[in-house]
């Protein structure tokens, strides 16, 4: 079984360098694991949106991404799909701890991301947790060390980093900053900076922002390495 899985992973990774986002018509045209393809299909995700085609392709190639796209363009799958593939290809298990972190400005948006992850990630074996405050801190705390994927709001995440001895992101592989401009508008600049300082620098980072203000550019400089800029034309 493991030999088969290794072969499947090698087969996928061998195709990454050949991805051409302009030739992608359906999710099946991307070199994705069967588990992810099944999760997408069963939730009726067939044709990737413009931002998904580009961001997924470049993110699979291991690049840091700076994504500029409006609300409703499909950013959630643009980062959840490569995130799942990243952990899958590294054969991440529950014992490996936190491998992926998604930071979202509000509880509601974090919850929506979590729900989408539960759907499309259904066939993977990763554990996922929502760290958004307004809930029992002790409960979040106890479970934190068993989570592979954390969907967080900035304030609550930093609180865990500061106060929770079980919190360990030292093996983090991939960081997603969703709606970065909104996080900054809400006054989380210092919080975001502190979070990023606490994370290992050897990681992949995907940052999405509808606008590119000065403070977004500062955050980009702090968090991304040689990012690929992805800004698809909106489809009519
Ligand atoms: P954004 O984060 O850019 O505002 P979302 O990721 O929330 O956008 O997606 C907006 C809506 O489009 C959601 O209802 C989502 O289910 C739907 N959607 C996203 N990608 C696709 C797709 N490839 N095919 C069909 N519907 C999609
Ligand atoms: Mg969104």
* CB of 72 closer than 6 angstroms to any ligand 1 atom: yes
Local confidence band at 133 (pLDDT 50, 70, 90 cut-offs): confident
Q: Which atom of ligand 1 is nearest to the CA of 73?
A: 3
Give the number of the ligand closest to the Cα of residue 116.
Answer: 1
Q: Which residues contact 75 (CB under 8 A, 6 or more apart)?
A: 51, 55, 67, 69, 178, 208
For residue 143, the model assigns a pLDDT of 74
Paired tokens of 110 = 């974090």
* pLDDT tens column, 6-25: 999 999 999 999 999 999 99
ipTM surpasses 0.95:
yes
- Mean of the per-residue pLDDT values of the chain: 94
Q: Report the C-alpha gap between 48 and 54 in whole angstroms.
A: 9
Nearest CA to ligand 1 atom 23: 48
**Cα three-residue angle 102-199-59, rounded to 5 degrees:** 50
- Cα–Cα distances in Å, from 103 out to 18, 38, 44, 123, 234? 30, 26, 26, 23, 24
Residue 236 has pLDDT above 70, yes or no: no
Q: Report the C-alpha gap between 140 and 149 in whole angstroms.
A: 13
Local confidence band at 146 (pLDDT 50, 70, 90 cut-offs): confident
Residue 201 has pLDDT above 60, yes or no: yes
């Amino acid at each position: 079984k493991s030999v088969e899985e290794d072969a499947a992973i090698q087969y996928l990774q061998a195709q990454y360098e050949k991805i051409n986002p302009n030739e992608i018509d359906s999710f099946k045209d991307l070199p994705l694991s069967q588990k992810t393809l099944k999760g997408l299909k069963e939730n009726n995700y067939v044709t990737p949106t413009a931002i998904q085609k580009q961001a997924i392709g470049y993110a699979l190639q291991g690049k840091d991404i700076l994504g500029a796209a409006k609300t409703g363009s499909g950013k959630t799958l643009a980062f959840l799909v490569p995130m799942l593939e990243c952990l899958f290809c590294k054969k991440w298990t529950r014992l490996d701890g936190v491998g992926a972190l998604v930071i979202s400005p509000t509880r509601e948006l974090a919850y929506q991301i979590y729900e989408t992850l539960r759907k499309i990630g259904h066939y993977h074996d990763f554990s996922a947790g929502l760290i958004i405050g307004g809930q029992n801190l002790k409960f979040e705390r106890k479970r934190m060390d068993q989570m592979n994927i954390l969907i967080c709001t900035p304030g609550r995440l930093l609180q865990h980093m500061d106060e929770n001895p079980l919190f360990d992101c030292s093996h983090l592989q991939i960081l997603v900053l969703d709606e970065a401009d909104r996080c900054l508008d809400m006054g989380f600049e210092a919080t975001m900076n502190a979070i990023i300082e606490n994370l290992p620098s050897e990681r992949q980072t995907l940052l999405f922002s509808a606008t590119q203000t000065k403070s977004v550019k500062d955050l980009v400089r702090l968090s991304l390495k040689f990012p690929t800029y992805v800004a698809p034309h909106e489809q009519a």
